[in-house]
Amino acid sequence: MADIPIQSQELVQPARSESTPVLPKEKPNLKIIVILLVAILLIAIGTGLGMQIGKKQITTNEIISNKKTPTITVSEPTAIPVVDEIANWKTYTDKDVRFSYPSTFTAEPIMPQGSGFTQEFKDSSGKYTFSFVVRGNYNQETGKPFTLIDDFIGMPYQVKILTVGGQSARQPLPRAGSEHENSVSFFSQDKQNIYTFDLQTGDNPMTISPSDIAVGQQLFDQILSTFKFVD
Confidence category of residue 50, pLDDT binned at 50, 70, 90? low
165-223 pLDDT per residue, tens = 999 999 999 999 899 999 999 999 999 999 999 999 998 878 899 999 999 999 999 99
Helix H or strand E segment including 186: strand 181-187
Higher pLDDT, 105 or 31: 105
Say if residue 49 is in the same domain as residue 132: no
**Between β-strands 128-136 and 97-101, what pairing exists: parallel, antiparallel or unpaired?**
unpaired
CATH of the domain at 178: 3.40.1000.10
CB atoms within 10 A of CB 108: 13
* Nearest residue to 101 via CA among 110, 91, 114: 91
Q: Does 103 reside within a domain?
A: yes
CA distance linking residue 191 with residue 84, whole number of Å = 33
Structural domain containing residue 43: 29-66
Say if residue 55 is in the same domain as residue 93: no
Confidence category of residue 52, pLDDT binned at 50, 70, 90? low
Q: Roughly how many angstroms between the first and final C-alpha of the chain, as a whole number?
A: 186
Bridge partners of residue 160, in order along the sequence: 171
**Between β-strands 111-113 and 128-136, what pairing exists: parallel, antiparallel or unpaired?**
unpaired
* pTM of this structure: 0.64
